[in-house]
Amino acid sequence: MPRRNLLLLIATVVISYACYVRAEQNPYARYVAASYSVIDRWSLVDAPDQQLFEGAMRGMVQTLKEHGDEYSTFVNEMHCEEYCEDMRQEFGGIGARIHMLGEPPLPTVSSPPAPHTPAFKSNLQ
């Protein structure tokens, strides 16, 4: 067996064991997985996995809110990009990068405007 394959095998075993140990440290993860299996196998209706997951997440966040956490929220995949873009706050102003280029120097848009910004919406070139 080539040395590279042996190292890859050892790394896989170590990572798998670490994941197993971590899962064993949180018994609730086991209960959630077992509950999902029961629902998946025995429920009278067939609900999509994504909706089951999102419902579980909303339930956990609601419990946090009931205990006084007014800041936590669950953002599903459909709204995640918009939410993450707002959280990153990578741009300010109109959302365009302008450099002084040429002789004499003139303001020039040097890259495409960031999506969902005023510059993008006005088709600034």
Q: How many residues does the chain have?
A: 125
Tokens coding 12: 């896989």
Q: Is 113 exposed, middle or buried (0-12, 13-18, 19+ CB in 10 A)?
A: buried
Total structural domains within the chain: 3
- Domain identity same for 51 and 84: yes
- Domain identity same for 34 and 57: no
pLDDT (0 to 100) of residue 1: 58
Tokens 């339930």 sit on residue: 59
80-125 pLDDT, tens per residue? 777 777 666 554 566 667 777 778 877 776 677 777 777 777 777 6
By the 8 A CB rule, do 74 and 54 touch?
yes
- Domain identity same for 75 and 106: no
Q: Which domain holds residue 80?
A: 47-89
- Domain identity same for 33 and 51: no
Residue from 81, 85, 84, 105 nearest 95 by CA: 85
31-86 pLDDT, tens per residue? 888 888 898 888 899 889 889 888 998 999 999 999 999 888 888 888 777 777 76
